[in-house]
Amino acid sequence: MNPAPPVTTMRTCPPRSLSAPTSVSESVATISGGGRVRACVLGANGQLGRALVAARPDAVALDRAALDIGDADAVAAHDFTGVDVVFNAAAHTAVDRAETEPAKAWRANAAGPAHLAAAAREHGFLLVHVSTEYVFDGTAPGPVPEDAPLSPLGVYGASKAAGELAVRAALPERHVIVRTSWVVGDGGNFVATMARLARDGVRPAVVDDQVGRPTFAPDLATALLVLAGSGQHGTFHVTGDGEPVSWYRLAREVFARCGRDPGDVRPVSSSEYAADKPHLAPRPANSVLDLSRATRAGVAMPAWRDGLDQVLARAPR
Give the pLDDT score at 113: 99
Q: For 271-308, how does the pLDDT look when each residue is reduced to its tens digit (9 = 90+)? A: 999 998 888 999 999 999 999 999 999 999 999 999 89
pLDDT of 23 > 50? The answer is: no
Q: What value, to the nearest 5°, has the Cα angle with vertex 168 and ends 142 and 128?
A: 80
Task: Quote the percentage of the chain above a pLDDT of 90.
Answer: 81
Contact of 248 with 267, CB cutoff 8 Å: yes
Strands 176-180 and 126-132: parallel
Please compute, for residue 2, the number of CA atoms within 13 A of its CA located in the half-sphere on the CB side.
Answer: 25
Give the pLDDT score at 32: 36
Contact of 208 with 248, CB cutoff 8 Å: yes
Distance CA 78, CA 276 (A): 45
With H, G, I as helix, E, B as strand and everything else as coil, classify residue 87.
strand
CATH H superfamily, domain 7-15+30-314:
NAD(P)-binding Rossmann-like Domain (3.40.50.720)
> Which residues belong to the active site?
156
- Specify the higher pLDDT residue, 127 or 141: 127
Structure letter (DSSP) for residue 109: I
Choice among 13-27, 96-110, 196-210 with the minimum mean pLDDT: 13-27
- For the entire predicted model, the pTM comes to 0.89
Distance CA 251, CA 89 (A): 27
Taking the CB of residue 21, how many other CB atoms lie within 10 A of it? 11
